Amino acid sequence: MRYKMLKKLIVSNNQMYRHMSGFVSQYNENHIPTTPLQKIMLSVGSAAISLFEPRRADMISTLGETTGTHALKYIRDKMINNPEGNEILQLQPRINSSTVDFGKLKDMPHNTLGYAYFKFLDHNKVTPDSRGIVQFIDDIQLAYVMQRYREVHDLFHTVLGMPTNMLGEVTVKWIEAFQTKLPMTLSGGLFGAVRLKPKQREQYVKYYLPWAIQTGLNSNFMLNIYFEKRWEQPIEELHKELNIKPLEIFDLK
């Protein structure tokens, strides 16, 4: 019975895609169909390049797309079975400079999610426009799930209070690994930790990794949060809702 209801929801969501424009049209323009063998070759190649050149965001993205099918289905099912998550799947919102009024976020009270997100982007000199479009995922719904994951990654950093240095990235990757099951997040947590500086590694083992494991296991599913409708929510209130206790020790170089 549950399977039939889930299948019905998936079909219903797929039927709504014809009414969507933003993501669907962009996906259709960029999608590259690949065979299972080609996906394996892309996985191996992107994994090798990512290992030796971890700054190659394009290779990391490719690895995520070609190895994440089962995890993306897991994420999709969790979203479908949550009212807020299912709404995200139906409306397919995007997070970029054309959909978010950053001037408005800047003027929000300093205790809100919106202001915290603006401050995070401004302080770390990053932009949501840097997230590439999905290319190698053939199921359009799963492709959107991956796109959504990419575009809320900086919001995960914001909510978790983690900087964009290697220590912060590795910590967030561990929490994402527990929440999403995406292989690329697990590999990012494992191999990223090897690149930590001695002082960072000491703090990582003593504080960050235990906190990441506890948070990843006990926090509520963050991809079910419709962040764009929560800009005015006090971030402390969101922490309580997600069962997240921020780590006070961070931003080490």
Please tell me the total number of residues recorded for the chain in this structure. Answer: 253
Residue 93, pLDDT score: 96
Instruction: Determine, yes or no, domain membership for 252.
Output: no
Q: Is 77 annotated as a binding residue?
A: no
Tally of structural domains, the chain: 1
Residue 230, pLDDT score: 98
Q: Is 157 annotated as a binding residue?
A: yes
* Dist. CA 201–CA 243, nearest whole Å: 26
Instruction: Determine, yes or no, domain membership for 249.
Output: no
pLDDT 10s digits, 33-63: 888 888 888 778 777 676 556 567 677 778 7
Instruction: Determine, yes or no, domain membership for 38.
Output: yes
pLDDT 10s digits, 66-97: 888 999 999 999 999 999 999 999 999 999 99
Q: Is 169 annotated as a binding residue?
A: yes
Instruction: Determine, yes or no, domain membership for 250.
Output: no
Q: Is 154 annotated as a binding residue?
A: yes
Instruction: Determine, yes or no, domain membership for 120.
Output: yes
State which residues form the domain around 79: 2-242
Residue 92, pLDDT score: 96
Instruction: Determine, yes or no, domain membership for 43.
Output: yes
Instruction: Determine, yes or no, domain membership for 57.
Output: yes
Instruction: Determine, yes or no, domain membership for 248.
Output: no
